[in-house]
Amino acid sequence: MELNTLKPAAGAKHAKRRVGRGIGSGLGKTAGRGHKGQKSRSGGYHKVGFEGGQMPLQRRLPKRGFKSQSLKYNAEVTLSDLQALGAAEVDLLTLKAAGLVPELAKKVKVIKTGELTLAVKLTNVGATAGAKEAIEAAGGSLA
């Protein structure tokens, strides 16, 4: 077998349909486009959502409602972050001041990643079930 003798398997390649090449092709005359009308013409079509001049649906419906993503911004803090912080009492403002949480954050949740040996009292800060166990085991509490 040589590179110049390679051929595709029998039936793997088939001739491309030749449109508008005479009556014998089965797609002569109108070339499968039917008779007259916008869709039969070359270059004749419309943009997505066009309804023939009727007011499009996206313009007929009223525009209302919007929820800013920045307002429901949730942040995460790990147990190792709390350990490194070294504060006895932690709340949202403390975490923002330490730079552990973005300024836009509205809610904070502690996740169980790393170790915690300090007794930390959390106020208005959520925690996962595993993180809550780890905090209470270290002598801390959630309020």
pLDDT, residue 71, reads 58
Rg (CA), the chain: 34
- Numbers of helices and strands, H then E, in the chain: 4, 6
- What pLDDT shows up at residue 80? 94
Which pLDDT belongs to residue 65? 87
User: pTM of the full predicted structure?
Assistant: 0.50
Q: Using an 8 Å Cβ cutoff, are 83 and 114 in contact? A: yes
Residue 120 DSSP SS3? coil
Q: Are 139 and 119 in contact (CB under 8 A)?
A: yes
Instruction: Please give the pLDDT value at position 131.
Output: 94
Confirm or reject CATH 3.100.10.10 for domain 74-142, answering yes or no.
yes
Which pLDDT value is given to residue 72? 65
Whether the CB-CB separation of 117 and 97 falls below 8 Å is answered with no
Query: Please, are residues 117 and 82 in contact by the beta-carbon 8 Å criterion?
Result: no
Q: Could you tell me the strand order of the sheet in which 121-122 lies?
A: 89-90, 121-122, 141-142
Query: What pLDDT score was predicted for residue 24?
Result: 93
Q: Where are the domains of the chain?
A: 17-47, 74-142
Distance CA 103, CA 75 (A): 10
Give residue 22's identity as a one-letter amino acid code: G
Reading phi first (left if > 0) and then psi (alpha if -120 to 50, else beta), residue 30 is in alpha
Residue-level pLDDT at 45: 84
Provide the residue-wise pLDDT of the chain in tens; the chain has 143 residues. Answer: 899 999 999 999 998 999 999 999 999 999 999 999 988 999 988 889 899 899 999 999 999 888 777 656 888 999 999 999 988 899 999 999 999 998 888 899 999 999 999 999 999 999 999 999 999 999 999 98
